[in-house]
A and B are shown apart, each in its own frame.
Chain A
């Protein structure tokens, strides 16, 4: 069982380190560590038997430990007492304005950092430009009661990757930084990158347990593939391989009786369109002439469950918890706007909790269980088949009219806008807590059993 302790700092002429009275073998401790800073010290159990850590100011300074009122975890390994964990959250797009340092994502990060007291960790946000490699310090952004504050701290125990998009992820400086922190400093790195849609499908396909949830999905390589899929499924979806927010999703339908093709999509003005063509070639030429078809994928259409004639799909958010186990952190239903291809809110869609959507409790429970089971199974399969340490996944799932679950997409950096729905607020809090709790798990592993992480 992990333990958290308050940290107290005292002014003292001599070095003082008191260790919580209830820690076993505290006499053996000869070193104390915070982030990647380690210091030789002489420790004593707290003289009054209190369960707190007391450090004199010279020790605090030596370790670059900020004075913040949060209880922290301790881990003991090889006579070293590790206090923390210090969780570095990497992102980019910093502004020169201290009251809104990460632009429009400042509030998101403020909320993420605000769960620190309840989980027992010291999280901070940083960018590549805040690292001082020579001093081994990072000018980290902390969110405290007075607002945003930068404090120089050691390198963190773990890095949580929240780079905002694929473009920044591909930058040479950030790729170097990632490699250097992982290989030279052995800092575990979680949520390493954006999944590519096709890659996810190909990797899941390798596992028989996952295959049954996957609609047939291919690169947009030839008309014959689409023709064949249209004749087996009646309709297909064509979407960008690396898209998000439902942008650029098209549904192609084939009418067997008169041989017409229909395309349902959202035009540039944001209107939902349904257009008829007599051949597939004409359709593709008209609708996709501006798009790079090699960046598109084709997916089997599914006859989804509907509510008052509107399509329903589901978002399930899974997180690894403080024991490194997958948990379902959130489930929401998304109901499409009238005549819309997708259930995205910016396209007239509505988010609902399962309670709101299903009046029949048995039905709701059955669907909830099915969605949870599939998401947890897919999470563990994806984790084994993708590179890096994955801590959270957002699944877009559908249920067809026969009740079968289908996977449309899995996102390694799922959007959180659905959590603005009032009924889903508690889920929001839970995912935030879990994403830091998993950092605690990883930090402990890296200290006590690094071979499990750096395989």
Chain B
């Protein structure tokens, strides 16, 4: 491998992925491990080089990381040239808010190395970015930072509420609140459909959930009466990438249908993936489903553009969750700056989302 400059034309760029690495028996890149193999394959086909590294392997002279040795079919450790582009897949928010990470980013800036997907974006940050966009307002559920008084006033307006940690992911630790005949019922997403006892008022509920809300920042969001498929909750994950020309594009859309009796549809929580046009057609008929799906793409692109423009640093990939309510209206549920890679099937081919990431990396090299 030769060092690539990030300025000017690079024909064979060096692209690196940053994540946590376990080294006990051969390197383990966690959730992105098989994705890294795909990236290696795709980038080598284009004549570039790819490696994986963790923060501690980085120095200004070069990087200690893992490259894929095609002859031996395995990842090998080596001292590798500085990359032109880094794809940030650090999975721990704690690492990203550390002083070390900030210093690392400053160093990259001064060296002209581009890092994209700068860091985890919190649900509240994203909400604020989207609120700047007047034309997205009809699609944004009412959302506030959680505290007890807000819980009371939101209960006055909505029969169903969700309380989510702003830094949460994969549907963990979400509290669903439902009002019925003067009683307030709450359930937790972390344990399989764990129901809390019913409460008479907001104050009682607030005290009961205090262990979950006191030490972490949460948002409280209006419930949406999402349309269901045979009684199972459904939402859509739209994976968006910025292409080499710097335009956002939709790479894939899947419908996620929750496991029965569960109010989060995350795959990590036992949900199931289906084709969006089929699921929507079953509920709304084919013609309306087509319009909804088109609007879903448009909405996802507008959302990705708004986030990309407002967030600091470079953003090249976003996973946008959109729900469709029983009236057929679309809602922006949330956006994820480190979307899961497990929705598309992995055959022998390189998946569209991997291609999109590679295209984006090559585009960044030319900027």
Contacts and interface: CB of A to CB of B under 8 A. Distances in A.
Interface of A: 95, 97, 99-100, 104, 106-107, 110-111, 113-115, 117, 143-148, 308, 345, 349-351, 356, 420-422, 425
21 contacts: A95-B291, A97-B288, A99-B291, A99-B328, A106-B298, A107-B135, A111-B135, A114-B137, A115-B134, A143-B138, A144-B138, A145-B138, A147-B138, A147-B139, A349-B245, A356-B367, A420-B247, A420-B248, A420-B305, A422-B308, A425-B305
A146 B138 contact: yes
Contacts of B292: 99-100
Interface residues of B, number: 26
A350 B305 contact: no
Interface of B: 9, 133-135, 137-139, 245-248, 288, 291-292, 294-295, 298-299, 302, 305, 308-309, 328-330, 367
Contacts of B133: 114
Given A147-B138, A422-B309, A104 B294 contact: yes
Q: Which 3 A-B pairs have the closest CB atoms?
A: A147-B138, A114-B134, A114-B135
B224 to A, nearest CB: 14
Contacts of B245: 345, 349-351
Contact of B247 (A95, A99, A147, A421): A421
A100 B247 CA distance: 23
Residues of B contacting A: mostly: helix
B291 A100 contact: yes
Quick one: which of A110, A308, A356 has the most chain B CB within 10 A? A110
Contacts of B305: 420, 422, 425
Contacts of B299: 107
B247 A97 contact: no
B134 A117 contact: yes
A114 B248 CA distance: 22
B298 A107 contact: yes
B134 A308 contact: no
A143 B247 contact: no
Given A143-B135, A146-B138, A422 B246 contact: yes
A302 B96 CA distance: 52
A23 to B, nearest CB: 29
A107 B305 CA distance: 13
Nearest to B134: A114
B295 A147 contact: no
B70 to A, nearest CB: 30
Given A95-B291, A99-B328, A107-B302, A425 B247 contact: no
Contacts of B308: 422
Given A97-B288, A349-B245, A351-B246, 14 more contacts: A99-B292, A99-B328, A100-B294, A104-B294, A110-B135, A114-B133, A114-B134, A143-B135, A147-B139, A147-B329, A345-B245, A345-B247, A421-B247, A422-B309
Most A C-beta atoms less than 10 A away, residue of B288, B295, B299, B302:
B295
B271 to A, nearest CB: 25
Contacts of A425: 305, 309
A95 B287 CA distance: 11
A43 to B, nearest CB: 32
A115 B247 CA distance: 23
A356 B291 CA distance: 37
A426 B344 CA distance: 35
A100 B137 CA distance: 15
A166 B246 CA distance: 31
Given A107-B302, A351-B245, A421-B246, A99 B135 contact: no
